């Protein structure tokens, strides 16, 4: 008898997918790379090769240089207006549409491309680049639609600044979202970990939780990741090719 683990990694993952009742997917910046959105930690092309994350992705960095940091987020928002979801985003959305009860998508990405591809109920661990919130606790005078134009915009009464609605280093993740993600990974029997370096916690810890709870973990990545060691199998290659190859062929015996 041929065990799934005797097969090539893609066939192995397909065999696991076909019998999985609850699939958790954790995505990172690599999923959007082929849409033209830079990752963070890829050498040369990643944002953190060019910028210091403490300056660009922390409250302290924002307070120190609000115009510079705001400008960088404005640049990233502008970039998003010119890109489209890729075949990897679409394969995840299509699979969820076919089997809505089986797949839950958890993402570290703030680019909204999963949602634009049609994924539903995406658990966004790190916020949404296209939204803003007040830097300091808003007072009665702070009304977002009346924010005075500026870089960043500000409350013209009290001077409170707007900031991007993303989670920065040192900040807690949205509690309800993280709770929901933890429940999903603890109940899944298969977890796909796609396009993430696995270097940022608590997001990366979700893969450990899935594994500890008995799920199979499949890593999909063009290079090595910090989660390879806990993966049951690793698919090496771009997610825009591997996600369709994995998900589109699936005809699960135990579908919803």
82 to 121, contacts with ligand OAD by CB under 6 A? 108
Report if residue 197 touches ligand OAD, rule: CB under 6 A: yes
Look up 126 and say whether it is catalytic. Answer: yes
Nearer of residues 31 and 142 to ligand OAD, judged by Cβ: 31
Q: How far apart are CA 255 and CA 251, in angstroms?
A: 8
Q: How many CA atoms lie within 13 A of 2 on its CB side?
A: 7
Distance, CA of 133 to CA of 125 (rounded, Å): 16
Query: Which of these is catalytic: 75, 89, 126, 208?
Result: 126
What are the strands of the beta sheet with 233-236, ordered from one edge?
123-124, 103-107, 23-27, 190-194, 216-221, 233-236
Residue from 58, 177, 182, 222 binding ligand OAD (CB under 6 A): 222
Q: Does 12 bind ligand OAD (CB under 6 A)?
A: no
Residue 200 is a binding residue for ligand OAD (CB under 6 A): yes
Of the candidate spans 24-32, 90-98, 145-153, 173-181, the one that interacts with ligand OAD by CB under 6 A turns out to be 24-32
Q: Tell me, residue by residue from 129 to 168, as one string, x for binding to ligand OAD by CB under 6 A and - for no binding.
A: -------------------------------------xx-
For ligand OAD, give the closer residue by CB, 20 or 57: 57
Q: Of the candidates 65, 55, 67, 64, which has an alpha carbon nearest to the alpha carbon of residue 152?
A: 67
Under the binding rule (CB under 6 A), the answer on residue 41 touching ligand OAD is yes
Minimum Å gap between C-beta 168 and ligand OAD is: 6
231 lies in the site for ligand OAD, by CB under 6 A: no
Query: Shortest distance, CB of residue 35 to ligand OAD, whole angstroms?
Result: 9
Any contact of residue 35 with ligand OAD (CB under 6 A)? no
Comparing CB distances to ligand OAD, the nearer of 20 and 56 is 56
- Does 76 participate in binding ligand OAD (rule CB under 6 A)? no
Task: Compute how many other C-beta atoms are within 10 angstroms of the C-beta atom of residue 36.
Answer: 12
Residue nearest to ligand OAD (CB): 30
**Residues 124 and 177: beta-carbon distance below 8 Å:** yes
Task: Say whether residue 40 binds ligand OAD (CB under 6 A).
Answer: yes
Residues with active-site annotation: 126
Contacts to ligand OAD by CB under 6 A: 28-30, 33-34, 39-42, 46, 53, 57, 108, 126, 166-167, 195-197, 199-200, 221-223, 225, 238-239
């Amino acid at each position: 008898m041929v065990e799934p683990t005797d097969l090539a990694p893609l066939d192995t993952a397909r065999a696991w997918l076909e019998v999985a009742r609850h699939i958790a997917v954790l995505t990172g910046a690599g999923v959007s790379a082929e849409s033209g959105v830079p990752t963070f930690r890829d050498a040369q092309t990643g944002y953190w090769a060019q910028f210091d994350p403490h300056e660009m992705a922390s409250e302290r960095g924002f307070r120190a240089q609000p115009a510079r940091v705001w400008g960088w987020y404005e640049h990233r928002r502008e970039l998003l207006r010119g890109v489209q979801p890729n075949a990897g985003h679409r394969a995840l959305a299509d699979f969820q549409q076919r089997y809505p009860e089986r797949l839950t998508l958890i993402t570290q990405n703030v680019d909204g491309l999963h949602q634009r591809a049609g994924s539903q109920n995406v658990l966004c661990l790190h916020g949404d680049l296209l939204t803003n919130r007040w830097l300091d606790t808003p007072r009665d005078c702070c009304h977002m639609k009346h924010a005075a134009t500026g870089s960043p915009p500000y409350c013209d009464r009290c001077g409170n600044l707007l900031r991007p609605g993303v989670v920065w280093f040192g900040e807690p993740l949205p509690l309800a979202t993280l709770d929901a993600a933890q429940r999903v990974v603890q109940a899944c029997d298969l977890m796909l970990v796609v396009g993430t370096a696995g270097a940022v916690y608590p997001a990366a810890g979700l893969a450990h939780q899935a594994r500890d709870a008995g799920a199979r973990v499949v890593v999909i990545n063009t290079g090595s990741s910090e989660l390879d060691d806990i993966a049951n199998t690793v698919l090496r290659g771009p997610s825009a090719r591997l996600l369709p190859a994995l998900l589109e062929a699936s005809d699960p015996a135990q579908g919803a």
